[in-house]
Structure 1
Amino acid sequence: MNPNFVIMMANLEPEEAIFIQNLVRDLDETQQQQFLAMYQNKRRDTTLILITTIMGFFGFAGIQRFLTDRIGMGILYFFTGGLCMIGTIVDLVNHKSMTMEYNRQVAAEILASIKLWQNR
C-alpha cells in the first residue's frame, strides 16, 4: 500500500480506516489515490453528525438525516420535531453507527464506479 495513502487516511476513525484498507487492497496505486480523493469529499465525519443531531433539540430536527441521504426521514423529523424528540435522542445515541453506515455505503458506491471505469 502506498505510504501517502496511509497518511491521507489518518483523519479516519480506526474502524473506518481498517474497512477502507480492506476495501482498496486489490486496487493499484492510482486507483487507490482516486478512491481516497473521492471518498474524502463524500464521507461524513461523526462530529458533524453529532453536532447536527444536537441542533435537533433547538428546532432544526432532521439535518443529520439529510446529511446521510435519508431525505424522507429528514422531512419527517423536521415536521414532527424529531418525532417528538425521541428520534433525535435515538440518533444522538447512535450517531457513530449512522455515520459509519453512510460512509460504508459511499465507499461501496465509489469502489463500484472505479471498477466500472476500469472495465471500459
Structure 2
Amino acid sequence: MNPNLMMMLSNLEAEEAMFIQNLIKDYSEDQQKTFVMMYQNKRRDSTLILVTIVVGFFGFAGIQRFLTDQIGMGILYFFTGGLCFIGTIVDLVNYKSLAFEYNQKAAFETLHLMKTWNQ
C-alpha cells in the first residue's frame, strides 16, 4: 500500500492502520485511493470519542454512543446519566476500542459501497 495514502488518514492507531492495510492490500492504487477518501469521512478519531465521554461527566451523557451509531445506548445514557456514571466510566476506559469497533464497521461499509458502485 502506498504510504502517502496512509498519511491522508490522520491519527490512525497502529491496530487500525494494520487493519486498513490488510483490508485493501489486494486493491489497485486507484481503488485504494477511493477507499481512503471515502473512509476518512466516515471514521471517528479516538480523541473525539474521549472528549465526548468527558463531556458526559459534566453535561450531556451518551454523545459518544450517538457518534458511534449506537442510538439506543445514547438515549439510555442520556436519560440515566450515563447509567449513573458507571457506563460513562467504562466507556472512558474503553474509548479506543469503541472508536476501533466503529471504524471497522465504517471500513466494511465503505468496501461494500465501493463494490456496489463497481457493478
Is TM more than 0.5 here? yes
Aligned to 1:106: 106
Q: What SS does the corresponding residue of 1:65 show, helix, strand or coil?
A: helix
RMSD value over aligned CA atoms? 1.2
Where does structure 2 lack aligned partners over 5 or more consecutive residues? none
Number of aligned pairs?
A: 119
* One-letter amino acid matched to 1:54: V
Instruction: Provide the residue aligned with 1:21 in structure 2.
Output: 21
**Cross-structure match for 1:74:** 74
Give the structure-2-normalised TM-score: 0.94
Could you tell me how far apart the structure 1 residues matched to 2:67 and 2:57 are?
A: 17
Q: How has the CA–CA distance of structure 1 residues 83 and 37 changed in structure 2, closer, same or farther, with 3 Å as cutoff?
A: same
Matches within 5 A, 1:1-120: 1-9=1-9, 11-118=11-118, 120=119
Deviating beyond 4 angstroms after TM superposition, the runs of 4 or more aligned structure 1 residues are none
Supply the AA of the counterpart residue of 1:87. G
- TM-score, normalised to structure 1, is 0.93
Change (3 A) 1:81 1:16: same
Is contact 2:11–2:45 with CA below 8 Å preserved after alignment? no
Structure 1: stretches of 5+ with no match in the other structure: none
CA distance in 2, matches of 1:18, 1:73: 29
